[in-house]
Structure 1
Amino acid sequence: MKVTGLYRGKGRLIMKGKKIFKGTGIGLLVLFLFWFVREHIKLSPEEIQGWIVSFGIISPLIYMGMYTVKPVIFFPSSVLSVAGGLAFGFIKGTIFILIGSAGAAIVAYFLAHFFSKRFGDKDLGERVEKIKQKLHDEGFFYVLVMRVLPVFNYDLVSYVAGLTNVKFKQYLAASILGVLPGTMTYALVGSSIVSFNYMYLAIILLIILICALIGFWKKDKIKEILT
C-alpha cells in the first residue's frame, strides 16, 4: 500500500511538472511572438491596405481573418483599424473592423478558457486578479467600460475574461458595443486619407459625447474599475 501511494505521489508530481513545463513553454512562446511582432513587423496602414486590396473581391474576408487572428500574433489593433478605413471607406470599414474585433474577442476568450481548464488557475498578478474578480461579479458593465476606455489592452481584457465565469453572450455584446466609438474613429482616420466627410465626424463626436455623459453618470463605478 505504501509503495502504491508513493507511485501515486510521484505520478502527481510528474503530471504537475508537465503542466508547469507546458504552461511555461506557452508563456515564453507568447512573449517571443509579442516581441517579434513589435520589433520586426512594422507595417504601415498604407502597406496593409495595399496588400489587402490585392485580393480583390475576397479582400474583406482576408481583412476580417487578419483581425480575427490578431490576439495570436499580437498585431496592433490601431494599425489594422486605420488600414480597414483606408481600404474600405468609413461605413464598410467600420462594419469589417467590428466583425474582425468580434472574431478576435471570441478567439482570445476561448483560448484563455481552454488553457485555464487544461493547466489550471495560475497566479496572474494582483492587477489581473482584481480585473478577473470584477469581471466575474458584474461582467457586462466592466467589459463594456474596459472596451471603451483606451487604458486597457484589448486582447488582455479578452484573455482575462476567458479566465473568469463572465457569460459569453454578455462578454461579446459588451465587446462589440464598447469598441464602436474607437472603431468608427479609426475608420474615419483611415478613410480621411482618401477623402474627408464632416457628417461622419459629427456622428463620431455625437457618440463620444453620449459615452462621456454615460461615463459621468457612472463615474463612481468607472473609478472603481481604474483603482
Structure 2
Amino acid sequence: MRWKKLLIALAGGLGVGLFLWFDLGRFLTLEALKANRQSLMAYHASHRALMVAGFMAVYIIQTALSLPGAAVLSLAAGAIFGSIMGTVYANSAATIGATLAFLVTRYLLRDAIQNRFGTRLETMNRELETRGFNYLLFLRLVPLFPFFLINLAAGLTRLPLRTFVLGTMIGIIPGGFVYVNAGASLAGITSLSGIASPRVLGSFALLGLFALLPVLYNRLKAGRTPPSPPPES
C-alpha cells in the first residue's frame, strides 16, 4: 500500500510539474480560447467523438489535480458543444475529477492532506459528517470555499462515496450552466469576473439556503423538543 501511495503522489506531482514547466496555463485563458475557437469548432465538426473524449479527459485531469482553468474549460464547453451538451460534458468531467480527488484523499493521502489543511477544514469536516448531503449541496451551490478544498475535506470525513458523487453532480449544475451558457456567446465576454455577477451569486445563495432548509428545520425541531423526564428510581 505504501508504494501505491508513493506512486500516485509521484504521478500527481509529475502532472502538476509538467503543467508548470510547459506553462500550459497559457492555453487556459479567455484570450487563448477566443483566438482558437474557430479551430476547435472545426476540429469538433470533423472529429466529434475524439473532441468530446479529449475535452473531458483534460477537464478530469484539471479537476483531479486542482489545476487552474476550470472556468475557461466550462466556457470552452459552451463555445464548442453548445449550452446543453456542453453542460453535460463539463458536469460529468468535473464530477469524475472531483471523485478521483476525493478517493485519493480518503485512501492514499489522508495524513498529508490533514497536516497541510487540517485547521482550515475542521468546520467543514464536522458539518459534512453530521449534515451529509444537504451541507455538501450547500457548499457546491454557494461558492464559499474553493472547489478543490471541498473535495479534500469530504475525503477526510466518513461521507459515503455515493453521497459525494450525487451531491457534487447536482450541486455544480447551476454554476456550471452559467459559465457554459456564457461560453455559447463567447464573443460578448470581456472578462471572467463579469460572468458571475452579484445577481447570479445571490441566486446561488438562495439555492444554497433551500438546500439547508431540512437541516435548519431539524435543528429548530430539536430545540423545541422537551427533554425526557428522568427514569423513576
Shorter-chain TM-score bucket reads 0.5 to 0.7
**In 1, Cα distance between equivalents of 2:187 and 2:152:** 35
Q: 1:63/1:52 Cα in 2 relative to 1: closer, same or farther (>3 Å)? A: farther
Q: 1:33/1:138 Cα in 2 relative to 1: closer, same or farther (>3 Å)? A: farther
Unaligned runs of 5+ in 2: 189-198, 217-233
TM normalised by structure 2 equals 0.66
TM normalised by structure 1 equals 0.67
Pairwise CA RMSD: 4.0
Please give the residue correspondences for 1:43-192 in structure 2 after superposition, counting only pairs within 5 Å.
43=27, 44=29, 45-46=33-34, 49=37, 53=41, 54=43, 56-58=47-49, 59-70=51-62, 71-72=64-65, 74-116=67-109, 119=111, 122-123=114-115, 124-192=117-185
Shift of the alpha carbon at 1:176?
Answer: 0.9
Deviates more, 1:70-79 or 1:139-148: 70-79
Unaligned runs of 5+ in 1: 1-17, 196-204, 223-227
SS at the partner of 2:114?
coil
8 Å CA contact 2:98, 2:148 repeated in 1: yes
Q: 1:40/1:105 Cα in 2 relative to 1: closer, same or farther (>3 Å)? A: closer
**In 1, Cα distance between equivalents of 2:18 and 2:120:** 20
SS at the partner of 1:166?
coil
**In 1, Cα distance between equivalents of 2:208 and 2:99:** 26
Instruction: Tell me which residue corresponds to 2:209.
Output: 215
**In 2, Cα distance between equivalents of 1:121 and 1:210:** 29
